[in-house]
């Protein structure tokens, strides 16, 4: 029997892949003749590990992986052929081992734990081997909003890991939809409580009330209603959004420019809120699900995504924050983790313009969707702009509005209070945000100086000059508004700012002294 822990070294991705294929052959009892093109995720994970700086790995054998154990109990244990219930876990490190160093000597060396890069789980399924895995976020991939900390225990060490869980479909217990739902649920697990289902539970929940064929093996995938039911069963509020309503959007169709711009704005609000979003793509081949976990960021706008405002002075535009987002970043179970999703279809690759629908996993206590919150906040903002530009001619009004970039995101109240406690915003704003009654989650429309917004690419830029806070549980437009803060001196010739605090008991209007722009609620 092989040792439970073994230290390996490698110099490149093919070298790591060869080690892993050797482990997979021993684990599954199946050689290269059983391997398939579905090894793309394994190759992508090896390439990413090396890109992160991996030069060594601790191979951990006879691992009882709870997600594979569920797949085993549901399906593989019922096969006539022997299938082990164990997995192999590959723990990756950037620290170089000394010659002839023992595995414990390596793990106990001072620099090793800090060089931890994450792990891959190999399940004993030769064709689709990548089970529950988490790799550290690549430094060059932008902002991975859905990432969380996952402590990993190895030979007496607790290792820190910031990332988003990844898994390949096994093509028996689950297809792409189950893998994407699993990745979304698992990344929310620590933030939202232990409601992360394993792949077998996801398939069970999805097919509980509606089936279109055999459940095991699940070769026919899931339909959108089944996906929605699986998310609901896990305790979240699935919110399907269709970007081409009333059209004949089908396999091979693409969103037009306006639909794509709307899709970008809608997705951005959820992704900025750390809410993973399932995308249902219709490429020319067959329906496919991926999960959006973040976005890349450019120091200068790469799209012209604007919100239109009709003022008495004329029609003006305000830039939406998604203009600085070249691409969203996805986990794609059939090709790998942390992949940019191109905007437009080129050849056979997946792209954002193939999106038929998006399903953000809204927390169950959020009743106002991002689309509604944006409409609500921008209508309030329009009313304020109308008053602010009343005496201006069209060009001056357009110039004033041209200074802004807006970003919408959902935040927990503790994040808002933590921001207030440390922000350099005006003292009255800090005090009221820390002391006021607030719902657990609040939609925030941030108002930024457009000139400063791109600086977030490289630093914590002070770009925030105002915000509107909305109650995410409200069922009436007239009671949703909680706070409005506008630091007018930062963008107009008015030399004082305003804070409106609206509670059920009373509304207060407070004049605020000028302060410089501040760092936003959430870093970009």
Partner 1 sequence: MTRVTLGKLVVGTARGNTRERVIPAKEIKELRRDISERITPKIEEIREEQRRALEESKPLVLL
Q: Which residues bind partner 1 (CB under 8 A)?
A: 175-177, 212, 220-225, 227, 240-242, 245-246, 250-251, 280, 282, 286-289, 356-357, 369, 371-372, 375-376, 379-380, 383-388, 476-479, 481, 484, 486, 488, 494, 496-498, 500, 506-512
In this structure, is the dihedral angle defined by the CA atoms of residues 415, 421, 424 and 425, taken in order, positive or negative?
A: positive
- Minimum CB distance to partner 1 smaller for 102 or for 494: 494
- Minimum CB distance to partner 1 smaller for 96 or for 212: 212
- Minimum CB distance to partner 1 smaller for 103 or for 200: 200
DSSP-based three-state secondary structure for 503: coil
- Minimum CB distance to partner 1 smaller for 235 or for 240: 240
DSSP-based three-state secondary structure for 56: strand
Strands 464-471 and 441-449: antiparallel
- Minimum CB distance to partner 1 smaller for 251 or for 299: 251
**Shortest distance, CB of residue 495 to partner 1, whole angstroms?**
8
CA distance 21 to 15: 10
- Minimum CB distance to partner 1 smaller for 102 or for 210: 210
Task: Centre a 10 Å sphere on the Cβ of residue 503 and count the other Cβ atoms it contains.
Answer: 14
Note whether 397 and 311 are within 8 A (CB).
Answer: yes
**Shortest distance, CB of residue 507 to partner 1, whole angstroms?**
4
Tokens describing residue 430: 């800090």
Strands 404-412 and 314-320: parallel
Task: Centre a 10 Å sphere on the Cβ of residue 424 and count the other Cβ atoms it contains.
Answer: 12
- Minimum CB distance to partner 1 smaller for 10 or for 488: 488
- Minimum CB distance to partner 1 smaller for 104 or for 251: 251
CA distance 372 to 27: 51
CA distance 311 to 390: 9
* Ramachandran category for residue 497: left, alpha or beta (phi over 0 → left; psi -120 to 50 → alpha): beta
CA distance 102 to 105: 5
**Shortest distance, CB of residue 79 to partner 1, whole angstroms?**
22
**Shortest distance, CB of residue 330 to partner 1, whole angstroms?**
14
DSSP-based three-state secondary structure for 87: strand
- Minimum CB distance to partner 1 smaller for 11 or for 391: 391
**Shortest distance, CB of residue 216 to partner 1, whole angstroms?**
16
Overall residue count recorded for the chain in this entry = 524
**Shortest distance, CB of residue 116 to partner 1, whole angstroms?**
34
Note whether 479 and 492 are within 8 A (CB).
Answer: no
**Shortest distance, CB of residue 477 to partner 1, whole angstroms?**
4
- The one-character DSSP state at 166 is B
Note whether 261 and 319 are within 8 A (CB).
Answer: no
CA angle 115, 42, 80 (to 5 degrees): 125
CA distance 193 to 195: 6
The values of phi and psi at residue 351, to 5°, are: -150, 160
- Minimum CB distance to partner 1 smaller for 25 or for 372: 372
- Minimum CB distance to partner 1 smaller for 464 or for 524: 464
| Cα of 46 vs its chain's centroid, Å | 22
Give the helix ranges, DSSP H, for 352-494. 370-388, 394-401, 413-422, 427-435, 450-453, 477-480
Question: Which helix (H) or strand (E) segment is 230 a member of?
Answer: helix 224-233
- Minimum CB distance to partner 1 smaller for 297 or for 443: 443
- Minimum CB distance to partner 1 smaller for 25 or for 428: 428
**Shortest distance, CB of residue 452 to partner 1, whole angstroms?**
21
CB neighbour burial string for 38-72, b if at least 16 within 10 angstroms, e if fewer: bbbbbbbbbbbbbbbebbbbbbbbebebebbbbbb
In this structure, is the dihedral angle defined by the CA atoms of residues 28, 32, 37 and 43, taken in order, positive or negative?
A: positive
Note whether 361 and 465 are within 8 A (CB).
Answer: no
**Shortest distance, CB of residue 494 to partner 1, whole angstroms?**
5
- Minimum CB distance to partner 1 smaller for 57 or for 385: 385
**Shortest distance, CB of residue 226 to partner 1, whole angstroms?**
8
């Amino acid at each position: 029997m092989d040792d439970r822990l073994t230290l390996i070294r490698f110099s490149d991705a093919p070298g790591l892949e060869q080690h892993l294929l050797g482990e997979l052959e021993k684990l599954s009892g199946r050689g290269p003749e059983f391997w398939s093109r579905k090894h793309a995720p394994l190759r992508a994970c090896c390439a990413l590990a090396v890109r992160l700086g991996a030069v060594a790995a601790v191979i951990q054998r006879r691992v009882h992986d709870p997600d594979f154990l569920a797949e085993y109990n549901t399906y593989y244990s019922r096969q006539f052929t022997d299938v082990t219930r164990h997995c192999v876990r590959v723990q990756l490190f950037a620290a170089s081992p000394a010659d002839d160093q023992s595995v414990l000597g390596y793990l106990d060396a001072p620099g090793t734990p800090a060089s931890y890069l994450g792990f891959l789980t190999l399940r004993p399924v030769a064709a689709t081997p990548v089970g529950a895995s988490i790799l550290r976020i690549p430094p060059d991939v932008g902002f991975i909003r859905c990432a969380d900390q996952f402590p990993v225990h190895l030979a007496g060490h607790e290792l820190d890991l910031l990332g988003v869980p990844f898994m390949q479909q096994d093509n028996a217990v689950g297809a792409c939809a189950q893998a994407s739902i699993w990745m979304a649920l698992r990344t929310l697990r620590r933030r939202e409580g232990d409601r992360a289902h394993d792949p077998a539970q996801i398939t069970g929940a999805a097919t509980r009330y509606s089936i279109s064929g055999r459940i095991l093996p699940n070769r026919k995938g899931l339909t959108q209603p089944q996906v929605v039911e699986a998310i609901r069963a896990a305790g979240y509020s699935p919110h399907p959004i269709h970007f081409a309503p009333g059209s004949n959007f089908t396999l091979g169709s693409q969103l037009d420019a306006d639909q794509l711009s709307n899709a970008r704005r809608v997705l951005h609000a959820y992704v900025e809120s750390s809410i993973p979003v399932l995308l249902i793509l219709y490429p020319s081949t067959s329906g496919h699900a991926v999960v959006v976990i973040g976005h890349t960021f450019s120091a200068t706008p790469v799209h012209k995504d604007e919100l239109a405002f009709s003022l008495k002075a004329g029609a003006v535009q305000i830039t939406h924050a998604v203009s600085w987002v070249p691409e969203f970043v996805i986990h794609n179970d059939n090709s790998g983790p942390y992949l940019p999703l191109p905007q437009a279809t080129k050849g056979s690759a997946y792209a954002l313009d193939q999106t038929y629908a998006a399903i953000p996993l809204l927390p169950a206590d959020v009743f106002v969707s991002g689309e509604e919150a944006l409409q609500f906040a921008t209508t309030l903002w329009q009313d304020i702009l109308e008053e602010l530009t009343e005496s201006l001619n069209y060009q001056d009004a357009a110039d004033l509005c041209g200074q802004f970039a807006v970003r919408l995101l959902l935040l927990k109240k503790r994040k808002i209070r933590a921001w207030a406690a440390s922000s350099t915003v005006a003292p009255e704003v800090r005090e009221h945000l820390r002391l006021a009654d607030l719902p657990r989650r609040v939609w925030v429309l941030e108002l930024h100086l457009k000139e400063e917004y791109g600086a977030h690419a490289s630093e914590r830029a002070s770009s925030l000059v105002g915000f509107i806070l909305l109650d995410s549980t409200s069922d009436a437009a007239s009671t949703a508004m909680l706070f409005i803060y506008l630091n007018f001196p930062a963008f107009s010739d008015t030399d004082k700012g305003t804070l409106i605090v609206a509670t059920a008991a009373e509304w207060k209007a407070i004049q605020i002294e000028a302060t410089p722009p501040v760092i936003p609620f959430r870093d970009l």
